[in-house]
A = this chain, B = another copy of it.
Amino acid sequence: MTEYSKSKLNTVNRLGKRGKYDFETIHGLVNQSPVVHVAFATDTSEPFPTILPMIGQMGSFKDSSAGLDSPLECYLHGYVSSRIMRLSQEAVARGEDGLPVCVTATKVDGYVLALAPFHHSYNYRSAILHGYAQPVESEEEKAWAMELVTNSVVPQRWQNARTPPTKTEMKSTTILRVKIHAGSAKLRSGVPSDDRFDLKDESVVNNVWAGVVPTWQVMGDPIPSSDNAVAKVPGYLKEFVEKENIRNKDIALKAVKE
């Protein structure tokens, strides 16, 4: 299996040709996003679901070398409020699969400026996963996931920071593992798509600029803290910043031409 099966839950209905269901696209988008948004229902008297920004990374504890095109689980870390932890634990205690959550990752690659506001859009890539969140209980899996998540922010950072974590740090860290139930992605690239009657109207075409403003996330030079005693920015960090800057710009520019 290398893709999520389509169901009522995950099928992209509007502009369906933009929908993608393969593991590689969806998992890759989650792994490239510094932040994912996680929605869950609360147990207050209020009717609203809530959203937390968290760090998310796809991985497989059983087969840590599994590629993006394999079935993976989503490991979540970040400002794990006591609420999402408590609700996940309570769900497991009730014998359920975990807390039902929705995880999304979104990248904006360009502002698509058409002749008419109606056809304005973004070039974007977004992924959505639905699944059941459980707190990771085993110490071994937790340590593995902490390394996975840390290295998802900056590759090789775990090996180049003070590790292993202390017992207190391990206890204070909470990781959620989301067993994926459904997933999909939606992508838009290219130039604006305008109506023929606007393209034929000289007063419109001669007055309205149409095209794309590409946009991407850029990283500046690393800034040492006052406590830092390492004279040079280490190679792994320098390389990460340089590579990401090139890659992100490249994606945004290529999206215009697709």
- A→B interface (CB under 8 Å): 8-9, 13-15, 34-35, 37, 39-42, 44, 46-51, 53, 79, 81-82, 100-102, 104, 106, 108, 111, 113-118, 120, 122, 124, 126, 128, 130-131, 146-147, 150, 153-154, 157-158, 160-163, 165-166, 169, 172-173, 181, 186, 191-192, 194, 198-199, 201, 204-220, 222-230, 233-234, 237, 241, 249, 252-253, 256
Q: Tell me, in angstroms, the Cα distance from A42 to B39 when the chains sit together.
A: 12
Q: Tell me, in angstroms, the Cα distance from A158 to B114 when the chains sit together.
A: 11
26 contacts between A and B (CB under 8 A): A14-B81, A35-B106, A35-B124, A37-B37, A37-B106, A46-B130, A48-B131, A51-B128, A53-B106, A108-B217, A113-B161, A116-B162, A116-B163, A116-B165, A117-B150, A117-B162, A117-B165, A160-B207, A208-B230, A209-B224, A209-B228, A209-B233, A211-B224, A217-B217, A220-B249, A220-B252
Q: Known contacts A39-B49, A51-B37; decide if A153 and B207 are in contact (CB<8 Å).
A: no
Q: Tell me, in angstroms, the Cα distance from A97 to B50 when the chains sit together.
A: 18
**Across-interface contacts of A237 in B (CB, < 8 A):** 113, 209, 213
Q: Known contacts A102-B49, A120-B150; decide if A219 and B211 are in contact (CB<8 Å).
A: no
Shortest CB–CB separation between residue A252 and chain B, in angstroms? 7
Which residue from B150, B165, B199, B228 sits with its C-beta under 8 Å from A227? Answer: B199
- The listed residue with most B CB atoms (<10 A of its CB), out of A153, A163, A206, is A153
**Across-interface contacts of A39 in B (CB, < 8 A):** 37, 39, 49-51, 102
In the complex, the chain B residue whose C-beta lies closest to that of A103 is: B51
**Across-interface contacts of A208 in B (CB, < 8 A):** 160-162, 230
Q: Known contacts A122-B35, A206-B230, A227-B210; decide if A117 and B146 are in contact (CB<8 Å).
A: yes
